[in-house]
Chains A and B, each alone.
Chain A
Amino acid sequence: EVQLVETGGGLIQPGRSLRLSCAASGFSVNNNYMNWVRQAPGKGLEWISVFYSGGNTYYADSVKGRFTLSRDTSRNTVDLQMSSLRADDTAVYYCAKGAYGHGRSPLYAMDVWGQGTTVIVSS
């Protein structure tokens, strides 16, 4: 079964760092593009980053320079290192697998989602 499980959320003080992990099962993160999406309380969805299978990474302007993606092939995880956290980073953070069409052409959509992990930035 294809599944994603996020861990690492919690209560963290402003300015501190936190690392989220997304563990995949049923597929390899190495061969897929993996995304992080967040949702602040009562708000809409915000795409924040993607790790392409070839190794390129992209970030939303709101997190660029503060958040960093990494991939661990042995653990089959994609991690999100978050630094200089602010109150407006408070959200549920979802990991999502990129979707492919025929012939493994990327569709730039997200077809498998984790259950999310909650990050609360507060003093």
Chain B
Amino acid sequence: DTQMTQSPSSLSASVGDRVTITCRASQSINFYLSWYQQKPGRAPKLLIYAASNLQSGVPSRFSGSGSGTHFTLTINNLEPEDFATYYCQEGNSPPWTFGQGTKVEMK
């Protein structure tokens, strides 16, 4: 089974900042890496699929990159509504796994 290591577990940032979150896979997962945003009490929302593709309706300040075992989610020009928890998820082969999550808090 593939293990996903996500870092950092939390970070503090201000509106307008650039934020980068990293996920590392224990083995190659090709490009089958997705990123989700979750706000308290809400279901997760798909942001990025196939490592670097923006889901329809997601603002372009969100971007993803990487392949193989190293992936990043970048949020440019952080907006107030972006304070949330972010998860990566690998889908190379089941059982799929999520990263531990990164909570983006207001500085």
Interface, chain A (partner B; CB < 8 A):
37, 44-47, 50, 58-61, 94, 96, 99, 101, 107-111, 113-116
Contacts and interface: CB of A to CB of B under 8 A. Distances in A.
B75 to A, nearest CB: 18
Interface in B5-56: 32, 34, 36, 38, 43-46, 49-50, 53, 55
Contact of A99 (B38, B44, B49, B87): B49
Contacts of B92: 108
A100 to B, nearest CB: 10
B80 interface: no
B87 A44 contact: yes
A31 to B, nearest CB: 18
B43 A113 contact: yes
21 contacts: A44-B98, A44-B99, A44-B100, A45-B44, A45-B87, A45-B98, A50-B94, A60-B95, A99-B34, A99-B46, A101-B49, A107-B34, A108-B92, A109-B46, A109-B91, A110-B34, A110-B36, A110-B46, A111-B49, A113-B44, A113-B45
A101 B53 CA distance: 10
Contacts of B45: 113
Interface in B66-107: 87, 89, 91-92, 94-101
Nearest to B34: A109
B87 A50 contact: no
Contact of B96 (A50, A99, A114, A116): A50
Nearest to A50: B94
A42 to B, nearest CB: 11
Contacts of A116: 43
Chain A CB within 10 Å — which of B44, B55, B92 has the most? B44
A109 B95 contact: no
